[in-house]
Structure 1
Amino acid sequence: MKNTKIFCLGLILALVSACGPSEKTKQLMQDAKTSFGILPEKMPGSEKDTPAKIALGEKLYFEKRLSINDSQSCSSCHGTLGKTAGVDNLPTSPGALGKNGDRNSPTSLNAGFHFVQFWDGRAADLKAQAKGPILNPVEMAMPSEAAVEKKLSEIAEYVDLFAKAFPDQDKKITYDNLAEAIAAFERTLITRDRFDEFQAGNHRALTSEEQKGLETFLSAGCIQCHNGPLLGGNSFRKLGQVHPYENTTDVGRSAVSKNDAEKYFFKVPSLRNIALTAPYFHDGKVATLPEAVKKMAYLQLGKELSSEEVDSIVSFLKALSDKNRSN
């Protein structure tokens, strides 16, 4: 009988232990919520988005006729279908006329949560961003806003879609409305991952290896730049804070701000879906995630991470992939 009681007590203790997180895990969950936070359910500005506006924006996002030779759409560089994570996975992207841009195409997923758009922050929001590539001579190469409006006005389907999306406006097909519609669609591109489930209280959402990776991420100092719900996307930082980056041809933010103190500053990228968006850095010159982790630790923190530390951090970063896009 005594042995039976001891066995039952041990079984109960084991079950209790299995049901709840350890004190160490509880602390890690709290540390994560303090440093990061759960991605909001909706993006700023989405309260004004109507189903008609979103539907128009989605069609425009995939519309190749917005380019000079009907060969290029927003989706060409920022694919969102299937497991594609808002990028084309190229170092730099070819435009409608065959010339490549100078920078790596950032993901369009969760983009509306960023504090500014583009690597150099030259657009304040999604609407301002949407106006750029269509008229950029290297990207979609349309000659003017008027040319875009004329082209769309000659397509019956768009006449109808713009009328539904902007019923109260006299002139419905405008470049401004086009950008507003694309932005409305992009505000729906919110991803969900296991890390948010972990922060919300599900201690089993991350494996023990991934939790160890989170610990390493925190202790290594990665949160100095990669913090907030996006794990980035909320500040400009100099690339090469401790050791200089080898590519100095792109001066980054200072080209926009005209402030030499911001030379080589770039927007800190979000780490959400980072395992799906190779290659890395503003110039796309870093091919793999382990290489990016190791290089960033050296450039920004002055640290030489061990292979074990790099692998640990990478295991955590993979948990930031959208559940519908990760393998």
Structure 2
Amino acid sequence: MKLRSLVVASSLLLISTSVLNATNSGLEAKALIKEAKDSGLVALPKDQKGVDEILKENGVKANPFSPEKAELGKKLYFEPRLSKSGIISCNTCHNLGLGGIDGVAAAVGHKWAANPHHLNSPTTYNSVLNTTQFWDGRAANLIEQAKGPIEAEPEMATPAKLAVERISSLDEYVKEFKQLYGKSGVTFDNIADAIANFERTLLTPSRFDQFLEGDEKALTQAEQKGLKLFIDKGCVTCHTGVNLGGSMQSFEVAGKYQFANLGDFKGDSNGMVKTPTLRNVAETAPYFHNGAIWSLKDAIKEMGSVQLGIKINDKEAQSIETFLHSLTGEKPVIIYPLFPISTSKTPKPQL
């Protein structure tokens, strides 16, 4: 009887300990969710109304969203005839099958030339939620941003007039623009607006968002430890908000970036650089504005010395990286579009 009583007592003790550990884990998760929110981290919006609310909070002006415009914008996003050569599209550098990037250090544009400033292509996933666009923040919204690469000589190299001529030569596009934009029809502004509408749909909700919304089991214990370290080390100073980045911040605050001389980019007139979003960051190597670092762990350690003035060791970097993998989100299903056939009126490619 004594042995049986001892076994029962031991079992009860194990159960009590298990329940206590689970309770403590739950309390820790609740506290971490609150700390993350208090640090400025925000879950992705669930619909376009939510996108509008965040844009308003960020002071970003945007035209009203339309699913029909987004569908037209999808065609234009993949449309190679918006480039002078007729072979480069938005998707060339912002490949939606590769995390919204091209996977090379410096973007490759017209005549297969690398970007003259050695600038890396940022992801278009969730880009609508950035407070500013381009590495130097020169565009305030996606409409302005969409125009830039089309006209830029190192990118698609197509003057606005030629872009309009190309699209206007295709009756299917002309009909769609007339239906959606009325009398204005095919204009460079409307082309950019349609592309921006499509890019608004490129949201990637992740387990991290579920965690912020109260699902305490959405992140593993290791991921929660990494998130806690991410907050405690001060990474949220710049990588904050709904996109864990996307705003202009000072660069080389505490130290010199070891690859600063790769390319001639020095930020805006005040030396500020757009902080890249960390959403899907495990899929968007290489890192930094000049694509000089290929390892996420190395990028974390570099940011520690350059921005925070601290040494992040391998174990800490691995823990933070573990958390960052939880930001890999679910991608929207994109069906590659079929384009209108060129006509005798369509301006020929210029190689």
2:291 aligned partner, one-letter code = G
Query: 3-state DSSP class of the match of 1:128?
Result: helix
Q: Who is 2:99 aligned against? A: 85
CA distance in 2, matches of 1:150, 1:171: 14
1:319 pairs with 2:326: yes
Q: Are the structure 2 counterparts of residues 219 and 126 from structure 1 closer, same or farther at C-alpha, using a change threshold of 3 Å? A: same
Q: Who is 2:199 aligned against? A: 186
1:40 pairs with 2:67: no
1:164 aligned partner, one-letter code = Q
Deviations 1:102-135 (A, max 9, x none): 3100000111111110010011100000011111
CA distance in 2, matches of 1:232, 1:50: 26
1:25 pairs with 2:29: yes
CA distance in 2, matches of 1:20, 1:160: 62
Q: How many residues align?
A: 311
Q: CA deviation at 1:9?
A: 8.5
Q: Who is 1:287 aligned against? A: 294
Q: Who is 1:297 aligned against? A: 304
1:136 pairs with 2:148: no
Q: Which moved more, 1:60-69 or 1:27-36?
A: 27-36
Query: 3-state DSSP class of the match of 1:31?
Result: helix
CA distance in 2, matches of 1:15, 1:22: 10
1:253 pairs with 2:258: no
Question: Do the aligned partners of 2:230 and 2:320 also contact (CA within 8 Å) in 1?
Answer: yes
Q: CA deviation at 1:234?
A: 2.5
1:93 aligned partner, one-letter code = A
CA distance in 1, matches of 2:141, 2:246: 12
Q: Who is 2:140 aligned against? A: 124
1:243 aligned partner, one-letter code = G
Deviations 1:264-300 (A, max 9, x none): x201111111111000000001111011000010111
Q: Who is 1:259 aligned against? A: none
Question: Do the aligned partners of 1:58 and 1:182 also contact (CA within 8 Å) in 2?
Answer: yes
Q: CA deviation at 1:237?
A: 1.9
Q: Are the structure 2 counterparts of residues 16 and 294 from structure 1 closer, same or farther at C-alpha, using a change threshold of 3 Å? A: closer
2:325 aligned partner, one-letter code = K
Q: CA deviation at 1:16?
A: 7.8
1:298 aligned partner, one-letter code = S
Q: Who is 1:241 aligned against? A: 253
Q: CA RMSD in A?
A: 2.3
Question: Do the aligned partners of 1:108 and 1:186 also contact (CA within 8 Å) in 2?
Answer: yes
Deviations 1:183-234 (A, max 9, x none): 0000001111111111111111111111111111111111111111211113
Q: CA deviation at 1:27?
A: 0.9
Q: CA deviation at 1:55?
A: 0.9
Deviations 1:18-68 (A, max 9, x none): 488432222111111222021222323778222221111000000001001
Unaligned runs of 5+ in 1: 255-261
Q: Who is 1:72 aligned against? A: 88
CA distance in 1, matches of 2:12, 2:279: 44
Please point out which of 131, 148, 161 is paired with 1:146. Answer: 161
Query: 3-state DSSP class of the match of 1:97?
Result: helix
Question: Do the aligned partners of 1:52 and 1:161 also contact (CA within 8 Å) in 2?
Answer: no
CA distance in 2, matches of 1:251, 1:111: 22
1:56 pairs with 2:72: yes
Question: Do the aligned partners of 1:228 and 1:234 also contact (CA within 8 Å) in 2?
Answer: no
Query: 3-state DSSP class of the match of 1:299?
Result: helix
Question: Do the aligned partners of 1:194 and 1:320 also contact (CA within 8 Å) in 2?
Answer: yes
Query: 3-state DSSP class of the match of 1:319?
Result: helix
1:114 aligned partner, one-letter code = N
Extract structure 1 runs of 4+ deviating beyond 6 A: none
Q: Who is 2:219 aligned against? A: 206
Query: 3-state DSSP class of the match of 2:250?
Result: strand
Query: 3-state DSSP class of the match of 2:222?
Result: helix
Q: Who is 2:228 aligned against? A: 215
